[in-house]
Amino acid sequence: MNRLDPRLIVPPVISNVFPGRRLALWLFAPLVLVTLWRSQHHLLAADGGAQSIAHIPLDGYSDPAAATIVGVFALWGLSQLILAFLQLLALLRYRAMIPLFYLLTLIEYSVRATYIPAWRPIPTSATAPGALINVPIAVASLLLLLLSIWPRREVRA
């Protein structure tokens, strides 16, 4: 059994060779699709998903404040779109970077699950779906990160 190799998180050469376990490679594609879907929704939905998905009560704010929240969601969507394009590039051309993207996903969802609720809580009218999936996605990202830095024996450059 090969050992985990943390050096694979930031490889010295960025190639299209994915050295980790195949399951981590296969499950990266759904992560890219989810990031693409989230980005387009935050960019294109009338409320940016703020009220329709995140349950932020926009109608309880002044029009300028609600517009600001929707604008911030659109900016977030743009950031997600850029991330999704980079993930897609990694999936199609630079697979050696996939472990790094799993690490970034782990950091993002861990912070969403811990720091944000404790130090920057967002008032909502109901539990947002994101609040429910933060811990499971963080755990899955950790497992997939470990699988992605656990080299296969048959890896060829």
Residue 153: pLDDT band with limits 50, 70, 90: confident
SS3 102: helix
pLDDT digits (tens, 9 = 90+) for 49-83: 999 999 999 999 999 999 999 999 999 999 999 99
Give the tens place of pLDDT for each residue, 101-135.
999 999 999 999 999 999 999 999 999 999 999 99
Under DSSP, is residue 96 helix (H, G, I), strand (E, B) or coil?
A: helix
**90-96-102 Cα angle (round to 5):** 70
β strands within 24-128, DSSP E: none
Rounded distance, CA 113 to CA 41, Å? 22
Residue with tokens 């990031």: 35
SS3 115: helix
| Range among 2-6, 83-87, 126-130 rated most confident | 83-87
Q: H helices then E strands: how many in the chain?
A: 6, 0
Return the pLDDT at 67: 98
pTM of the complete model: 0.93
Q: Can you say whether residue 38 is alpha, beta or left, with left for phi > 0 and alpha for psi between -120 and 50 degrees?
A: alpha
